[in-house]
Amino acid sequence: MAHQHFKIYKPFGFISQMGSNNIKEKRSKRFISELHPFKDDVMAIGRLDLKSEGLLLMTTDGKLSDTVNRSGIEKEYYAQLDGVITPEAIEKLQKGVEIGIEGKKYLTKPCQAKFIKEEPNFPEPHHLLRVGTHRPNSWLSVTLTEGKFRQVRKMTAVVGFPTLRLVRVRIGTVTLEGMNPSDVIDFPNLPTELNLE
């Protein structure tokens, strides 16, 4: 039987997993299984943390999931930052910065980082983000080929510009374009799109 693949726009406040066996978590958390009647064998390819939004790929193909996570495929994020980021801070991000991962120091790989002049056309931020209560802010595009836990947030904080809102807009050639929060799109040609067939 053919594998199923999906792309979804994960909203703010949802966990990138189908569910939990923890009763307390089941009561207090929201899972992506709420967005669509997925079959039991569907899994997320990678993750987005609770407060992050954007493109999340889903599949029934465990091998594909593993390949994407290990392939060094590009993942692009738009980060809304507290403060107007400087060229010097952007250059530091591009070269790699030291962040903490599981209690150890980690030097991030060189990445693409560029200032976004015009505010992206995203839906209004979730009210809990309180974006408007901060000082002037700016948008930055960050493209990584790795995916450490909360990596973009840690990187921008290290250079002095904490992330207020984070939206993943692209994985490989697959983009978020035309999607709204909670959208789920059947995506049968995902392996071809990612050049992994």
Residue 72 tokens read as 């060094």
Q: Which listed residue (41, 49, 66, 186) is catalytic?
A: 49
8 Å CB contact between 190 and 20: no
Q: How far apart are alpha carbons 96 and 106 in whole angstroms?
A: 10
pLDDT at residue 24 in the model? 76
Q: What is the DSSP string of 18-72?
A: S--S-HHHHHH-EEGGGGS---TT-EEES---TT-EEEEEEES-HHHHHHHHHTT
Give the Cα separation of 16 and 33 in Å (integer): 9
- Residue 50's pLDDT is 92
Per-residue pLDDT tens listing for the chain (197 residues) = 789 999 999 999 999 888 877 777 777 788 999 999 999 899 999 899 999 999 999 999 989 888 888 888 999 999 999 999 999 999 999 999 999 998 999 999 999 999 999 989 998 888 888 776 667 899 999 999 998 889 999 999 999 999 999 999 999 999 999 999 999 999 998 988 887 65
What the block records as the tokens of 149 is 């836990």
Question: Is 49 designated active site?
Answer: yes
Q: How many residues does the chain have?
A: 197
Cβ contacts of residue 51 below 8 Å, gap of 6+? 12, 13, 129, 166
d(CA 12, CA 171): 18
Task: Please state the separation of Cα 153 from the chain's center in Å.
Answer: 11
Biggest alpha carbon distance in the chain?
53
